[in-house]
Amino acid sequence: MRVMFLKVAVFFSVLFSLTVVLQGAAFGAITPVRISSGFYQGRADVSGSMVTWKRKIQRSDGTLDYDIFRHSLTDPLGEAYNLNITDAQPGDQINPVTNGSDIVWEDWRSGHGDIYMSFLGIEQPLVTAPGNQGILCISGDTVVYVSNPADANLPMTDPGNRIYYIDLSDRVPHPVDNGPAATGAQWEPRISGNRVVWMDYRNGNWDVYEKDLPSGPERRLTTNPGDDEFPDISGDIVAWRSCQNGRWDIHWMNLANGVEHAATNDAAYQDSVRISGSLLVWMDGRSDPNPASPSAYDLYIEDLNTGVQTKIADRSVSPAYPAIDGSTLVWQEASSRIMEAQVPTSNVNLSLGIQNVYWASDADYAGRLLSIRYAISAAPDSAPAGSVQILGSPATSGVMLGSSTPVAAGDIQPGQQSAVVLKYLVPASVFSFNTTVYASALSGSGDLVYFPGPPA
């Protein structure tokens, strides 16, 4: 379940309001749609209505190489609209990513790994440095990739593997982290906005690191003695696969509080986790006859706000390598199909803000018992929020909650509002403090949803 703290700074002499949007979802029926079929294809990526993937093509001389294809989910021609954007180029073009308008990929036409892109429909080189460049990701106009000056097939742990980023506006490469502590290999970057995460080998095993571009401090997110690998990031949420006690599970963390959570905790092998908003998707071996070393996987999805997990695709069709953007999910099946599905949800969409901060009476003032009135509103497009209640409200600076919780706010219909008052025991020396407010509700489909996340 997703934990996202609402930090409310309370100043006694100032009346102000702070609003944050909080969502929780329960899954409806998920209906996959095939958007491409044919010879070997996979490693799809999606942003907005744009889907891109690699597909093996037979050249005129009989050789087999990968090309990059694209598809628009809004085109009425459907699968017939699929376009080969690297047709007739020698070598493999692989592992494409998209920001919704541009497509960037790893290109081997020169005999080593370069980075090319399709910008406004025109194919052009982006990075053609010596050695190999690849393992791409993109967010907006920022492309992040792995570069190694050696023109050789080297392992992930080679210390020459360094992560760079390049802005499409100036196309100048910069190292993400090249400080004195960054001595180990860097691999598998992902980016969301200005935040980059990657797996880093400087400590003798793989850990997950994070940095805000261009000059924010780096952060080591994992200290597990086993390997933490292949992270993904969306907003404040980072997800990765973690090996603890000899088992591979899916873990995630909210950067707002640094608390690590396990989405899975079993003997099955889980892999290829991706995150968008609160939606987490991964390959899961739990139903395989040998779950610790599966021959095929199911695809699972979880809304971290609710903890609800749903199987999207069964191992019988060999689904693999999912990618997700918003509610749009893509993956490959049986190495011969690219599938797409919209993830329908029954959303509870609430906002929480402060209406008033006050001393309710002379007695409360003398006893340092401060009142805060919270307004809880349901957006017009929200599902009905049933049995809304405040679960707790821990605070800093020695401030104690003076109200008994939970406090019921009742049912809140779309476009409507309710309010609750919580009281806080404030020491005489304290003039401001932070408080974290938790609430729960029943979604339109009866699932329990926590806002901003379950109490830690």
Give the CA distances from residue 385 to residues 77, 306, 314, 391, 417, in Å, rounded to whole numbers and listed in that order.
39, 13, 32, 15, 11
Produce one character per residue of 48-59: b if its CB has 16 or more CB atoms within 10 Å, e if not.
eebbbbbbbbee
Tokens of 403: 């109200």
For residue 204, count other CB atoms closer than 10 A to its CB.
Answer: 9
Q: What is the pLDDT of residue 23?
A: 46
Q: What is the pLDDT of residue 2?
A: 29
C-alpha to C-alpha distance for 255 and 241, rounded to whole angstroms: 17
In this predicted model, what pLDDT tens digit does every residue of 318-357 receive, in sequence order? Answer: 999 999 999 899 999 998 999 999 987 656 777 778 889 9
C-alpha to C-alpha distance for 288 and 270, rounded to whole angstroms: 11
Q: How many CA atoms lie within 13 A of 456 on its CB side?
A: 18
Residues of the chain with pLDDT under 70: 1-29, 345-347, 381, 443-447, 451-456
Tokens of 40: 């070997």
Residues 6+ apart with CB under 8 A from 235: 192, 193, 277
Domains and CATH numbers, the chain: 7-25+347-451 (2.60.40.1230), 33-342 (2.120.10.30)
Q: Which among 254, 232, 255, 230 has a CA at the least distance from the CA of 241?
A: 230
Q: What is the pLDDT of residue 345?
A: 63
Q: What is the pLDDT of residue 47?
A: 97
Place of tokens 């459907």: 78
Give the 3-state secondary structure of residue 373.
strand
Q: What is the pLDDT of residue 202?
A: 94
End-to-end CA distance of the chain: 10
